[in-house]
Amino acid sequence: MKNNTKLANFYLGLILVLMYLPIIIVIIYSFNSSRISSVWGGFSLKWYEELLRDKSMFDAMANSLILASSSSILAAIIGTLAAVGMPKVNLRSKGVIEYISTLPIMIPEIILGMVFLTYFSLIRLPFGMITLVIAHTSFCIPYVYMLVKARLVGIDKSLVEAAKDLGASEIRAFFDITLPLILPAILSGMLLSFAMSLDDVVISIFVTGVNTNTLPIKIYTQLKTGVTPKINALSTLMLGATLLICLLSVWIGKLGSHHREDLKMEGN
**What is the three-state SS of the chain?**
CHHHHHHHHHHHHHHHHHHHHHHHHHHHHCCECCCCCCCCCCECCHHHHHHHCCHHHHHHHHHHHHHHHHHHHHHHHHHHHHHHHHHHCCCCCHHHHHHHHCHHHHCCHHHHHHHHHHHHHHCCCCCCHHHHHHHHHHHHHHHHHHHHHHHHHCCCHHHHHHHHHCCCCHHHHHHHHHHHHHHHHHHHHHHHHHHHHHHCCHHHHHHCCCCCCCHHHHHHHHHCCCCCHHHHHHHHHHHHHHHHHHHHHHHHHHHHHHHHHHHHHHHC
pLDDT at 117: 92
| Residue ranges for the chain with pLDDT beneath 70 | 1-4, 37-38, 91, 93-94, 225-227, 249, 252-268
Provide the whole-model pTM.
0.77
pLDDT digits (tens, 9 = 90+) for 238-248: 788 778 877 77
Q: What average pLDDT is seen over the chain? A: 81
- Fold category of 54-267 in CATH: MetI-like fold (1.10.3720)
pLDDT digits (tens, 9 = 90+) for 64-76: 999 999 999 999 9
